[in-house]
Amino acid sequence: SEASSDAAGGTLVMATNAEFPPYEYYEGENVVGIDADIAAAVADKLGMELKIEDMAFDSIIPAVTSGKADIGLAGMTVTEDRLENVDFSDTYAHATQVVIVKEDSDIASPDDLEGKKIGVQLGTTGDIYAGDIKDATVERYNKGFEAVQALTQDKIDAVVIDGEPAKVFVKENEGLKMLDEAFTEEDYAIAVAKGNDELLDKINTALGELKDSGELDKIVDKYITA
Ligand code: GLN
């Protein structure tokens, strides 16, 4: 934004994977979405200029740990494994993993996924959880959208993916539906390098202010219509 373009506080580099509507996706040449708006609001509060770096989802944590990026903000679920490599801010969204199937599928609940061919996005929690399903074959795609495409082409039986992008993908592709029963519940947070407590504290303070002022809800409402 104009206000932060000559900020004295330096640049806040955000690593993300802009294939994840409504959290981050391209509108023309710009990365927009809930996470992009949250990052802009946080950067503004920190007096920093925001720079968004789009990369593969599984490159985000390495970018943060190596210092190439200051934050990872990508609808990223807090997991025990990730906490070994990065620190996470307070959570800013509750999320689910859901199952997408063809409208005429015999898969009616997550229990029916046993022995099925399941598409996921590489390195996501969907990838991790699908691996736990008995006798299932997991097909990994670089983009969630590619998994959905494979489903429409009957190359796989189901896709396990985050609930909000699932809604977008189901809406954009004919003949698909989302199962009512969620596969898992999870929470999204912002990743920072381990031990970078100064930045983590500032981010948590900014997030807290955005929650208290109602600004966070406003950002979410802008992208998610009930
Ligand atoms: N929430 C999932 C995860 O953290 C997927 C995130 C994404 O694809 N951007 O693994």
Pocket mutation for ligand 1, best pick of 76, 122, 148 (most atoms within 8 Å of C-beta): 76
How far, in Å, from the CA of 8 to the mean position of ligand 1?
Answer: 32
Angle, CA 25 vertex, CA 173 and CA 4 arms, to 5° = 160
Q: Is the distance from CB of 122 to CB of 142 less than 8 angstroms?
A: yes
Pocket mutation for ligand 1, best pick of 77, 143, 188 (most atoms within 8 Å of C-beta): 77
Is there an atom of ligand 1 within 6 Å of 17 CB?
yes
Task: Name residue 163's amino acid.
Answer: G
18 shares its domain with 78: yes
Q: By C-alpha distance, which of 140, 139, 165, 143 is closest to 223?
A: 165
How far, in Å, from the CA of 144 to the mean position of ligand 1?
Answer: 9
Whether ipTM tops 0.90, in short, is: yes
40 shares its domain with 56: yes
CATH of the domain at 167: 3.40.190.10
How far, in Å, from the CA of 175 to the mean position of ligand 1?
Answer: 24
> Residue 127: its pLDDT value, please?
96
> Residue 9: its pLDDT value, please?
79
Q: Nearest residue CA, atom 8 of ligand 1?
A: 124
In this predicted model, what pLDDT tens digit does every residue of 187-208 receive, in sequence order? Answer: 999 999 999 999 999 999 999 9
89 shares its domain with 101: no
Q: Are strands 117-121 and 158-162 parallel, antiparallel or unpaired?
A: parallel
pLDDT along the chain (226 residues), means of 10: 54 97 97 98 97 96 98 98 98 97 97 97 95 96 96 98 97 96 94 97 98 98 89
178 shares its domain with 198: no
Q: Which residue has the tokens 């927009």?
A: 32
How far, in Å, from the CA of 54 to the mean position of ligand 1?
Answer: 14
Is there an atom of ligand 1 within 6 Å of 223 CB?
no
76 shares its domain with 122: no
Q: Is the distance from CB of 36 to CB of 29 less than 8 angstroms?
A: no
58 shares its domain with 71: yes
How far, in Å, from the CA of 74 to the mean position of ligand 1?
Answer: 7
Question: What span, in angstroms and rounded, lies between the C-alpha atoms of 7 and 167?
Answer: 37
Task: Name residue 123's amino acid.
Answer: G
How far, in Å, from the CA of 75 to the mean position of ligand 1?
Answer: 5
101 shares its domain with 162: yes
CB atoms under 10 Å from CB of 225, counted, come to 7
Range of the domain at 210: 2-93+187-223
In this predicted model, what pLDDT tens digit does every residue of 1-30 receive, in sequence order? Answer: 444 444 567 999 999 999 999 999 999 999
44 shares its domain with 102: no
> Residue 5: its pLDDT value, please?
44
Residue 224 is encoded by which pair of tokens?
């998610």
Is there an atom of ligand 1 within 6 Å of 75 CB?
yes
191 shares its domain with 89: yes
How far, in Å, from the CA of 166 to the mean position of ligand 1?
Answer: 12
> Residue 194: its pLDDT value, please?
98
Give the count of domains, the chain: 2
Residue 10 is encoded by which pair of tokens?
């330096």
9 shares its domain with 84: yes
Question: What is the reported pTM?
Answer: 0.93
23 shares its domain with 128: no
According to DSSP H, which parts of the chain are helical? 34-46, 60-65, 80-83, 125-130, 144-152, 163-172, 197-212, 215-223
